[in-house]
């Protein structure tokens, strides 16, 4: 497989980064993951907007636009003979002196990874457990999609390797937060609930898309601070992320739910399928 490595396409076995890259030394980097559906990068504009916002916050002298990145994606897909793919677009700080740097970074390092995914199909349901480890608080004013993933890794170790389970974080105050790699939703009496961004969660791109799409098709939406009990009493529970789309739960801590048979997740997934091969931004729905 080929990857894009800061100006050239190279075989992944030959890819090298500097040991002085502050993305390696201090975790100073950002990334976006998204899917390619039949050659189309779903919600690419939204991913780039979030990425560019984070780059500005970290004082990286870089910003990326649709045409630039889409051109690189097309070439990468062609080289790897992919039509449906997982993409990770990664920007690290670049090489610098050993030691913390207070000034900006002039030469960020861009890497784009891809791997094959099957053609998108029906929803895959899972089970979930509330984690003992709590969600860490954002390191700045908001949670960026950064290289700092130790909290998530420790949570995955607690959960175990089974692909059939997702772990759900609580905040240290006991409020529902998010999944290890996903955003959390549940349904009760016609309202779609999700934890507020102020709980410290990542404002997922698919999360934002689902909220807008749900309002468009007539659902009431509520964001706030919630204890775990409303989750157990819900009619449907699901999580979202940019690779797995909508993942309904059939069980959360031994509480049973309809999983992929749920009427709300079916309605949302039906709308999702209409847009995933054509939409550049949620603002166009």
The candidate with the shortest Cα–Cα distance to 281, out of 84, 65, 58, is: 65
The candidate with the shortest Cα–Cα distance to 32, out of 270, 243, 272, 278, is: 243
Q: For residue 74, what are the β-bridge partners?
A: none
Domain 2-116 has CATH 3.40.50.300: no
pLDDT in tens, 41-70: 999 999 999 999 999 999 999 999 999 999
User: In this predicted structure, what is the pLDDT of residue 156?
Assistant: 98
Helix, strand, or coil here: 17?
A: coil
- CATH 3.20.10.10 domain range(s) in the chain: 126-280
Helix, strand, or coil here: 1?
A: coil
CB atoms within 10 A of CB 172: 11
- CATH 3.30.470.10 domain range(s) in the chain: 2-116
Element containing residue 223 per DSSP (H, E)? strand 220-224
User: In this predicted structure, what is the pLDDT of residue 29?
Assistant: 98
Quickly state the pLDDT bin for 40 (edges 50, 70, 90). very high
Euclidean distance between CA atoms 218 and 154, whole angstroms: 38
pLDDT, average across residues 107-115: 98
pLDDT in tens, 242-264: 999 999 999 999 999 999 999 99
Euclidean distance between CA atoms 126 and 198, whole angstroms: 27
Which superfamily does CATH assign the domain made up of 126-280 to?
D-amino Acid Aminotransferase, subunit A, domain 2 (3.20.10.10)
pLDDT, average across residues 196-223: 96
Phi first, then psi: what are they for 268, rounded to 5°? -65, -40
């Amino acid at each position: 497989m080929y990857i894009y490595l800061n100006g050239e396409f190279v075989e992944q076995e030959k890819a090298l980064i500097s040991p002085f890259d502050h993305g390696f030394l201090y975790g100073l980097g950002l990334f976006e993951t998204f899917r390619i559906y039949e050659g189309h990068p779903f919600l690419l504009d939204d991913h780039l907007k979030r990425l560019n916002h984070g780059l500005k916050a970290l004082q990286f002298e870089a910003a990326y636009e649709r045409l630039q990145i889409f051109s690189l994606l097309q070439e990468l897909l062609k080289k790897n003979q992919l039509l449906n793919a997982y993409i990770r677009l990664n920007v690290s700080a670049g090489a610098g002196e050993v030691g913390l740097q207070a000034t900006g970074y002039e030469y960020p390092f861009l890497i784009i990874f891809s791997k094959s995914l099957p053609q998108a199909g029906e929803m895959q349901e899972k089970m979930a457990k509330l984690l003992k480890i709590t969600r860490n608080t954002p390191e700045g004013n908001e949670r960026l999609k950064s290289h700092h993933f130790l909290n998530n890794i420790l949570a995955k170790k607690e959960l175990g390797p089974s692909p059939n389970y997702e772990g759900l974080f609580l905040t240290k105050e006991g409020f529902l937060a998010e999944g290890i790699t996903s955003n959390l939703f549940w349904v009760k009496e016609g309202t779609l609930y999700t934890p507020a961004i102020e709980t410290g969660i990542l404002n997922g791109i698919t999360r934002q898309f689902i909220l807008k799409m749900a309002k468009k098709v007539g659902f009431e939406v509520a964001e706030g601070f919630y204890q775990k009990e409303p989750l157990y009493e819900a009619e449907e529970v699901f999580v979202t992320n940019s690779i797995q789309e909508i993942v309904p739960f059939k069980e959360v801590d031994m509480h049973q739910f309809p999983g992929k048979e749920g009427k709300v997740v079916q309605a949302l997934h039906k709308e999702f399928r209409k847009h995933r091969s054509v939409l550049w931004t949620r603002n166009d729905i």
